[in-house]
Amino acid sequence: MHDLPLAIFTVLSQMAIGAFITMWLLELRNKDISYKTGVLISVSITIIGSISVLFSLFHLGHPFAAYRAILNIGRSWLSREVTLYGGFIFLSGLYTYFWWKGDSSKRFLCGVFGTIVGLATIFSSAMIYVIPAIPAWDSLSTIVAFFVTGLILGPLFTGMLLQWKKELSFNISFVTLIGLAISALTVAMYTSSLFGGLPEAVATGELMLDSSLFWGRIMAFIIALFIFLLAHIRRRASHKILYTTGFVLLLASEFLGRVLFYTSAIHL
């Protein structure tokens, strides 16, 4: 599948950005995170971000010429995405380094700039696809969906690792449920807009609803929703297995949704 590397890249990059921002916000709120755990999470984020870059290169016909993508930054959203995400990976690496060195002041600055650059990266990634030539993509839903992936997977990834280290200090279930509510609303509005749009958009909607990927995504989403509702209602001290299972399900759900995003699109 030609678009598979892009699906992996966008999901992993948005998850890495969301996890990075979560980690920085926890520090900003003076949440106690041990040295070893901080290094573990920051290294994990940088590795995931770097792996996503490798997958993006597989999509190119000439991977070693990828550097040329930055040459048109003034006019191309793709060039902006490449440049910004490269900057984010660099800042994430610095953030990790300052965790290792125990330098909280420089780590804070890396967090500020990494958050700004990361959010700009997600926006640039989404804008690549907001094009009139593909009616199913040419809407605000595309932008929201890309940010929602980071909102769901990022905090959950960071929170899951913190829970395994017994250092979780925020209500991960509540944060995840908010992300799931926004995601469900976005999918509903997106589907409705397809069937109220141009013939090509309607055709995309029909392909989507006929796809096993769509229903697989919905099934994983619903199971994860019940898991986090259960975790939130019971408020038990430890939900390591629940959180990990929920994370895997939502990662699969977002990935299936992103593959469907690429494969069901129909040009004018």
Helix (H, G, I), strand (E, B) or coil at 255: helix
Q: Domain check: are 1 and 47 in the same one?
A: yes
Q: Domain check: are 109 and 143 in the same one?
A: no
* Contact (CB, 8 A) for 33 and 167: yes
Q: Domain check: are 108 and 199 in the same one?
A: no
pLDDT at 170: 80
pLDDT at 65: 52
Residue 62 is classified by DSSP as S
Give the residue from 128, 149, 175 where a domain finishes: 128
Q: What is the pLDDT of residues 151-166, one digit of tens each?
A: 999 999 999 999 998 8
Where does the pLDDT of residue 32 fall: very low under 50, low under 70, confident under 90, or very high at 90 and above? confident
Q: Domain check: are 77 and 157 in the same one?
A: no
Q: Domain check: are 101 and 154 in the same one?
A: no
pLDDT at 232: 83
CA 67 to centroid of chain Cα atoms? 23
Mean pLDDT to the nearest integer, 205-210: 93
Q: Domain check: are 124 and 141 in the same one?
A: no
Q: Which residue has the tokens 């898991």?
A: 227
Q: Which residue has the tokens 């994430």?
A: 92
Task: Go through 90-129 and write b for each residue having 16 or more CB atoms within 10 A of its CB, e for each that does not.
Answer: ebbbbbbbbbeeeeeeebeebbeebbebbbbbbbbbbbbb
CA atoms of 49 and 20, how far apart (whole Å): 10
Say how many domains are in the chain.
2
Residue 28: pLDDT over 90? no
* Contact (CB, 8 A) for 150 and 17: yes
Mean pLDDT to the nearest integer, 89-99: 96
Q: Domain check: are 115 and 202 in the same one?
A: no
Q: Domain check: are 157 and 73 in the same one?
A: no
Give the residue from 103, 128, 153 where a domain finishes: 128
Domain that holds residue 234: 136-268
CA atoms of 170 and 193, how far apart (whole Å): 36
Give the residue from 95, 110, 128 where a domain finishes: 128
Helix (H, G, I), strand (E, B) or coil at 236: coil
**Which H, E and C letters describe 46-102, residue by residue?**
HHHHHHHHHHHHHCCCCHHHHHHHHHHCCCCHHHHHHHHHHHHHHHHHHHHHHHHHC
Q: Domain check: are 111 and 192 in the same one?
A: no
Which tokens belong to 14? 């948005």
* Contact (CB, 8 A) for 55 and 12: yes
Q: Domain check: are 172 and 198 in the same one?
A: yes
Q: Is 245 exposed, middle or buried (0-12, 13-18, 19+ CB in 10 A)?
A: middle
Residue 71: pLDDT over 70? no
Q: Mean pLDDT in the chain?
A: 90
Residue 43: pLDDT over 90? yes
3-state helix, strand, coil in the chain (%, to 5): 80, 0, 20
Q: Domain check: are 220 and 203 in the same one?
A: yes
CA atoms of 235 and 194, how far apart (whole Å): 39
Q: What is the dihedral of CA 84, 90, 91, 93, to 10 degrees?
A: 150
Which tokens belong to 196? 């109220």
Q: What is the dihedral of CA 217, 218, 224, 230, to 10 degrees?
A: 180
Q: Domain check: are 168 and 201 in the same one?
A: yes
Longest CA–CA span in the chain (Å) reads 57
CA atoms of 258 and 146, how far apart (whole Å): 9
